[in-house]
Amino acid sequence: MRRLKVFRSLVKDSLDTITHGSRKYHLWMALLTFIMLVGMYCYSIQLEQGLSATGMTDRVSWGLYISNFTFLVGVAAAAVMLVMPTYVLKDVDFKQAVLIGEGLAVAALIMCLAFVVADMGGPSVLWHMIPGIGVFNFPNSMLTWDVLVLNGYLFINITIPFYILFKHYQGKEAKSNVYVPGAFLSVFWAVGIHLVTAFLYQGLQARPFWNNALLGPRFLASAFAAGPALIILVLAIIRTFTAFKIEDKTIKKIAMVVTVAAQINLIMLVSELFKEFYAPTHHSESAYYLFFGLHGKDALLPWIWTAIPLNVLATVLLTFHKLRNNFKVLFFACFILFVAIWIEKGFGLIVPGFIPGPYGKIAEYTPTLIEIGVTLGIWALGAFVFTILAKTAIGIEIGKLRYKN
Amino acid sequence: MSSKSKKWFSLNLGKKDKHSENGCGCGKTSGGCGSHDLTIGEETKKDGFDQVFDVKMSRRTAFKQLTASLAIGAGAISTSCSMISGDETKEQAQIDWEEQFKGNYKLMTDEEKKATVDRLVRSYQLRTGKTLNMSSKNAEPDVLFGYAFNISKCQGYMDCVTACVEENNQDRNSQMQYIRIHEMKDGKGFNFNEADDNYYHEVPAEGHFYMGTQCFHCDNPPCVEVCPVQATWREDDGLVVVDYDWCVGCRYCMAACPYDGRRFNWSKPEVPEAEVNKNQHYLGNRMRKKGVMEKCTFCVQRSRAGKNPACVEACPTGARIFGNLLDPNSTIRWVLENKKVFRLKEDLGTEPKFWYFMD
Ligand code: SF4
Ligand code: SF4
């Protein structure tokens, strides 16, 4: 009974906090709401017309949605980079960051699920996928694995922070023997979600560009670069706009994580490029198309040739201690790294997997405005969810939100 | 399905768990030495499909209960609305409701299959006032369909493509076609990269030869493995089919198919009422809806009725041969045994049941 009362009060208090804030906060939320509405409008058009409202065709049958999905799985997985040292190794520096990281994971997962639903041809029959009522092709289909691990991860990342915040809200200490096992589990789980998502593509013998043993590990490396990079940027924003204290030390430690991951990612990229271009085979055509264009078709060139220099530049900047410890440079590097990896996972990975087609046909893909609208809407949804979560969490952590008897 | 442990290069002609990889020692996989006949012809038991079927029994019961309870709910709703709606609207609503919540065709009993087919026929009648003939005929025992394509004969007329579109009620707006004819240059070999699968000129063009592709009805189909809801599967007679009402439209199967065999309904498919082929099969050419996958079914509505697929019948040059691989007297078996046949991308282990040969 008491728990229920506390919970009710928590919900009321958090509703209170998220509806009150500075002018800037309201403007931010209004903007997000507007973008979400535009996205919903675009989605309604897509529902009406069918997926022909997007740029996808029989030749390139996955596009912007699945690209963003893949990228965001990585962002969600990266929350673990902060969970591990805090809960398991008792490294205090990360403690502040970890709630933010988990909030980010929840927001990213919600975006992932939204992107998958947006990509479905028949959202009204999605119940066919629910185990028990529908038919769940487990364990044969990697997609069912993905559904399981993503939802499981979402569950873990909601319950752990919720437990901690719930305790702090009542002014109590959270018991470590309750949440540490959960944190341990989420560490393995995070690696799992990204590996399984990579297997989704890696397991297709039909697409030589994906059917490559390095895909999974490379997913992990790029995720552990892009995710914490985003966390650094978010922490920087939170630091300037709220009373939540985040020490320089914390950010520097996360920057270290980003650096190592970005370096490993680059090494793997070199290895991939070597394999594709040193002794090119029939299977290297997708890579050729991506980097140089094939038969005069070169829609992806601007994307990849933006991504690669940004990636290299960011990694170089991060590698030098002097530069990395200068926060202006660090934030810039994190930003360009994030953009570079987003491009790499989308236009650099999903789209070229379909080009050239099974019989060498080169049909290019350009997203339509509707598709872009829906995509932006989902990103706004993610930002919205995250803002709400973070605002409540910060309120509790700095002691503004407390249970009053 | 029965070759789970050995995916590589074992032509699994459907019904033979006992058959070892090189059962006859001739090393051929396509039955050219004669001793294959024994193993192929003798074994009439069902294969792995049946096992899947049995495992799913409990779930099937669950389906029944679910649909039954939903049907009652639907009944309640429609009775309560009876003041405002006529009998036909009510019936249509009832059908729509039951169709929305029916189970996966693959797991249905024969009566359930019949029931859904009846509903679909009735629904069409209510909507258009016309009747159609829809079958739910299952695979016959001792049948395994296969196809052979004579590259020397094909002249690129594309009569097969037209016949296929008409037979299978494909969307006219997007000009969906299951079959692609690739025009290749003489002297370049099978160079798909430089081939044109979208030509608009008089054929046969000087210095070119032609090769058709479509779904190859792989015996070890990757598209089936990846489907998250088992909306696509291999039937007992080797046809790889889709339940259009169960597909959720994720297009994973499309990404997994190495042969460009699948087509997606990006918009609502439209066929002028006068051109609708009314002789239909649930798994074949019945009308599709927007957002679902479809593909060549070897014209299941024809082939299970003992006829050749439309493309075979339409081909003016006789380049297309279709038949039962388990029947030693069939033309297709004669071709496989007497011609130098090959298949595309054999290294992928998909075991297509579609062979190419030359005179
Ligand atoms: S050709 Fe493609 S669609 Fe047809 S059975 Fe093989 S993998 Fe599936
Ligand atoms: S598109 Fe349909 S048939 Fe293909 S994998 Fe998805 S649900 Fe299965």
**Considering only alpha carbons, which residue of chain A is nearest residue B198?**
A361
Q: Which pLDDT score is estimated for A85?
A: 73
Q: Which of B265, B215, B177, B179 is nearest to A56 (CA)?
A: B265
Q: Which pTM was predicted?
A: 0.87
Provide the pLDDT for residue B136.
Answer: 94
Whether A252 and A228 have beta carbons less than 8 Å apart is answered as no
**Cα of B252 to ligand 2 centre, how many Å?**
6
Q: What percent of chain B has pLDDT over 90?
A: 66
Handedness of CA A241, A243, A249, A254 (dihedral sign): negative
Can you give the pLDDT at residue A405? Answer: 65
Q: Nearest CA to B236 among B304, B181, B174, B171?
A: B304
CB A380, CB A39: distance < 8 Å? yes
Q: Using alpha carbons, select from B353, B341, B106, B52 the residue that is nearest to residue B220.
A: B353
Of A83-97, A199-213, B112-126, B154-168, the one with minimum mean pLDDT is: A83-97
Residue of A nearest to B262 (CA): A58
Q: Cα(A153)–Cα(A189) distance, rounded to whole angstroms? A: 7
pLDDT for res B14: 42
pLDDT > 70? residue B34: no
CA distances A23 to A35, A144, A241, A339, B95, Å, are 18, 44, 12, 29, 54
Are A147 and B252 a contacting pair, CB within 8 Å?
A: no
> Domains in chain A, ordered, with CATH?
12-397 (1.20.1630.10)
Compute the radius of gyration of chain B from its Cα atoms: 22
Res. B47: pLDDT tops 50: no
Cβ(A374)–Cβ(A23) below 8 Å: no
Please count the residue pairs, one from chain A and one from chain B, whose beta carbons lie less than 8 angstroms apart: 141
Least confident span in A133-142, B26-35, B169-178: B26-35
Selected for mutation to probe chain A from B51, B59, B225, B229 (highest A CB count within 10 Å) is B229
Residue of B193, B194, B267 with shortest CB distance to A49: B267
What share of chain A in percent tops pLDDT 70?
98
Q: How far apart are CA A156 and CA A179, in angstroms?
A: 10
Of B197, B231, B291, the CB nearest to A361: B197
For B238-260, the pLDDT digits (tens) are 999 999 999 999 999 999 999 99
Of the partner residues B180, B225, B264, the one whose CB lies closest to the CB of residue A61: B264
Over residues A252-274, mean pLDDT: 92
CB-based contact (8 Å) between B249 and chain A? yes
- The upper half-sphere exposure of residue B62, i.e. CA atoms within 13 Å in the direction of its Cβ, equals 11
Residue with CA nearest ligand 2 atom 2: B247
Name every protein residue with a CB atom under 6 angstroms from any ligand 1 atom.
B 215-218, 221-223, 240, 257, 259, 261-262, 295, 350
Give the distance between the most distant pair of CA atoms in chain B: 74
| Residue B196 DSSP symbol | B
A359/B182 CB distance under 8 A? yes
What mean pLDDT do residues B137-143 have?
94
Query: Could you write out the three-class secondary structure of chain A?
Result: CHHHHHHHHHHHHHHHHHHCCCHHHHHHHHHHHHHHHHHHHHHHHHHHHCHHHCCCCCCCCCCHHHHHHHHHHHHHHHCHHHHHHHHHCCCHHHHHHHHHHHHHHHHHHHHHHHHHHHHCCCHHHHHHHCCCCCCCCCCCCHHHHHHHHHHHHHHHHHHHHHHHHHHHHCCCCCCHHHHHHHHHHHHHHHHHHHHHHHHHHHCCCCCCCCCCCCHHHHHHHHHHHHHHHHHHHHHHHHHHHCCCCCCHHHHHHHHHHHHHHHHHHHHHHHHHHHHHHHCCCHHHHHHHHHHHCECCECCCHHHHHHHHHHHHHHHHHHHCHHHHHCHHHHHHHHHHHHHHHHHHHHHHHHHHHCCCCCCCCCCCCCCCHHHHHHHHHHHHHHHHHHHHHHHHHHHHHCCCCCCCC
Least confident of A14-23, A104-113, A359-368, B137-146: A14-23
Which residues from chain A sit within 8 angstroms of residue B254, using beta carbons? 58, 61
Q: Do A56 and B266 touch (CB under 8 A)?
A: yes
Q: Tell me what the mean pLDDT of segment B191-200 comes to.
A: 88
Strand, coil or helix: B263 = strand
Mean pLDDT calculated for residue range B172-182? 94
Q: Which of A340-354, B15-29, B331-345 has the lowest mean pLDDT?
A: B15-29
Return d(Cα B168, Cα B310) in angstroms, integer: 9
Query: Which residue in B237, B245, B242, B246 sits closest to B257, CA to CA?
Result: B242
* pLDDT recorded at residue A79: 74
Of the candidates B165, B167, B166, the one whose C-alpha atom is nearest the C-alpha of residue B177 is: B165
Which 224-263 residues of chain A touch chain B by CB within 8 A? Answer: none
Q: How confident is the model at residue B57 (pLDDT cuts 50, 70, 90)?
A: very low
Q: What is the pLDDT of residues A331-340, one digit of tens each?
A: 999 999 999 9
Instruction: Give pLDDT tens digits for B271-323.
Output: 999 999 999 999 999 999 999 999 999 999 999 999 999 999 999 999 999 99
Task: Pick from B100, B251, B263 the residue to mutate for testing the A interface (most A CBs within 10 Å).
Answer: B251
DSSP code at position B194: G
Say what the ipTM of the complex is.
Answer: 0.91
Structural domains of chain B ordered from first start: 3-131 (no CATH), 139-359 (3.30.70.20)
Q: How far apart are CA A243 and CA A209, in angstroms?
A: 48
Using DSSP bridges, classify how beta strands B180-185 and B208-213 pair: parallel, antiparallel or unpaired: antiparallel
pLDDT in tens, B225-238: 999 999 999 999 99
* Contact B147/A at CB under 8 A: no
Pairing of strands B232-234, B240-242: antiparallel
pLDDT of residue B67: 55
Distance CA B4, CA B236 (A): 16
pLDDT of residue B348: 94
**Which tokens is A209 given?**
């560009």
- Predicted pLDDT of residue A245: 82
Contact A361 B231 (CB under 8 A): no
Interchain pair A136, B229: CB under 8 A: yes
Q: Which atom of ligand 2 is nearest to the CA of A141?
A: 5
For the segment A11-15, the average pLDDT, to the nearest whole number, is 89
A262 neighbors A314 (Cβ within 8 angstroms): yes
The strand pairing partners of B40, in sequence order, are none
Flag whether pLDDT at B72 surpasses 60. no
B129 pLDDT higher than 50: yes
Pairwise CA distance, residues B256 & A125, whole Å: 22
Give Rg (Cα) of chain A. 22
Per-residue model confidence as pLDDT tens digits over B316-328: 999 999 999 999 9
The CA dihedral of B20, B22, B23, B25, to the nearest 10 degrees, is -150
